[in-house]
Amino acid sequence: MNRLHRQPICVASALMVPMATLATPPWLGLDGVPPCWVVLWLLPWALVDGPISGALAGAALGLVLDGLTLDGLTLVPALIGLGWWWGRIGRRASPVQRSFNLGLLALLGTGILGLTLLLQLLIGGGGGGGEVLEPSLWAWGLHTLACQTLVTGVLAPMLVSLQLLIWRRRVPA
């Protein structure tokens, strides 16, 4: 079992996710939509440290990010599922190393995360009162999902590859 979660510098890197989420420069996003920083951090973490650690890290980061927004929508279930899934991929298959694969995993993860948020809007009605969603809200949600998925998928090969290199060297095989 890898011990990435016992490395203080690696655990401290999780603090960068809420900071990056709040302070993303406009030029780094696409049409005003920033990348999904939690996916860019959770993907390499789960690949290196395994499914249990990935699910726990997803839950912790989801709670922190939910506390930042307080809008009634939650990231926790999707992040727990993604952390578990990516951790199992890291354990069962040969190590994921190709940039295309990392970009595809980040793209799928961001899409799943965004779709769970849209599903919560559909079930909750957007305002929590059970009313039907307006078409403009759907258009906004799909636009945000497409932009965030694309920009995260483009950044993932660079950022996730770098994190994988650093974290795999810090943890003995």
- Predicted local confidence at residue 1, as pLDDT: 45
How many Å separate Cα 78 from the centre of its chain?
9
- Predicted local confidence at residue 37, as pLDDT: 95
Q: How far is CA 121 from CA 8, 79, 110, in A?
A: 37, 17, 17
- Predicted local confidence at residue 132, as pLDDT: 60
- Predicted local confidence at residue 75, as pLDDT: 94
- Predicted local confidence at residue 107, as pLDDT: 95
**The domain that contains 127 carries what CATH number?**
1.10.1760.20
Q: What is the mean pLDDT of each run of 10 residues along the chain (173 residues)?
A: 67 87 90 93 92 94 90 92 93 78 94 92 63 74 92 94 86 67
Structural domain boundaries, residue 150: 4-170
Q: Based on the structure, what is the number of domains in the chain?
A: 1
